[in-house]
Amino acid sequence: MSSKDEKADASIITKAEVKTKEALTVLWSDIPKWLQDNHYIHSGYRPQSNSYRKSAMSLGYLHNETINIYSHLLGAITAAITAAWMYTTIRPRFHLADDKDVMVFSCFFLGAMACLGMSATYHTTSNHSEAVAKFGNRLDYIGIVFLIWGSFIPSIYYGFSAEPALVNLYWTMISTIGAGTLAVVMLPKFRSPEWRPFRAFMFVAMGLSAVVPVVHGLQKYGVQQMQQQIGLSWLVGQGVLYVSGAAIYAARVPERWQPGRYDIFGSSHQIFHVLVLLAAAVHLVGLLKAFDHEHRWRSGVLSAYGHARKLGESSFHA
C-alpha cells in the first residue's frame, strides 16, 4: 500500500471518528466498553460527552435513555406537587390528624422524590464519563434505599398504630437495614467484585424485610383487619409490580426476543421504570385508605367515649 493510500485511509478513519463524536446518537459498536450494558439494544446511544452541559442537552432530543429520564423526572415532579397538595389536605381531612401523620407521609414522598430524582439524574449524566457513570449508579441505588425506607415507615405506623412498641421495633429494623445497605453502596470497600453477592443480599434483605411485619400483622389481626389498617391488597399489588418490573429488567425482555426493535421505545428498563411509578402510586392509594381507616376508628372511639361519658353523667344526676 502506497503512502498516498495510507493517508487516504487515515483521513477516512479521522472523518468517521469526528462524525461519531458529532452525532447525537450512535450504535452499540461506537460506544466505549463502560457504556455497553445491554447488547440487545443496538442503537440510540449517546456518545461519551465529558460535559454535564452536553449530557443535559440530550434532554432535548430522542435517544435510548429518553424514556428512562423523563419517566422518573416527571414522576419526581409529580410526587413533589402531590406532596405539597396533600400537606394542605391531610390535617383538614380529619380533626384528629396530627404531626405524626404529616411526618410519615413526608417520609413516603421524600423517599419517592429521592429515588425518582436520583434515577433521572443518573440516566441523564450516564454518558458523561466512566467515573461520573459509576457515581450516578451509586446515586441510583441510594434512591432505591430511600424509596423502600420511605414506603415502609407509614405502612408500619398505620398497620400497628395501636401498639407503639411494635411500630418502634419495625422502624428500627428497617432503618438499621437501610443504613447498612447505604454503607454497602457508598463505602469503597464494598464496591469490589468480591462484595457483589453481599451487596445483592443487602438489597434483597431490605426488600424482604417488609414481609415480616405483614405476616406478623396477619397472624395478629387477620386478613380483614389488615386490609383496613395497612391497605393490604394495595401493598400486595405494589409488591407484584416491583417484582414484575425487576424480573422483566433482569430477563431483558422484550428486546431479547427481537434485538434492535425496542432500542428507543419499549425496552425492559423502560418497562421497569413505568412499573416503579405505578407501584409508588398504588402504595400511596393504600396509605390513604389506611389513613382514612385509622382516623375514622379514632373518631369512633372518641365519639363512643363521649357518648358513654354523657350517659354516665346523666345517670349520676338522675
Q: Give the model's pLDDT for residue 87.
A: 85
Amino acid code (one letter) for 14: T
Q: Which burial class, exposed, middle or buried, applies to 2 when counting CB atoms under 10 A from its CB (0-12, 13-18, 19+)?
A: exposed
Share of the chain above pLDDT 90, in %: 69
Which of 98 and 34 is assigned the larger pLDDT? 34
Kindly tell me if the per-residue pLDDT of 309 is higher than 60: no
| Closest by Cα among 85, 214, 76, 201 to 147 | 76
Q: Give the model's pLDDT for residue 219.
A: 96
Residue 125: pLDDT band (50, 70, 90) is very high
Cβ-contact 188, 198 below 8 angstroms: no
User: Is 123 assigned to a binding site?
Assistant: yes
SS3 percent helix, strand, coil of the chain, rounded to 5, is 80, 0, 20
In the block, residue with C-alpha cell 469503597: 188
Tell me what the pLDDT averaged over the chain comes to: 87
Q: Which burial class, exposed, middle or buried, applies to 154 when counting CB atoms under 10 A from its CB (0-12, 13-18, 19+)?
A: buried
In the block, residue with C-alpha cell 365519639: 303
Amino acid code (one letter) for 180: G
The domains found in the chain, sorted by start residue, are 65-303 (1.20.1070)
Which of 105 and 15 is assigned the larger pLDDT? 105
User: Is 273 assigned to a binding site?
Assistant: yes
Dist. CA 96–CA 101, nearest whole Å: 10
224-237 pLDDT tens trace: 999 999 999 999 99
> What pTM did the predictor assign?
0.85
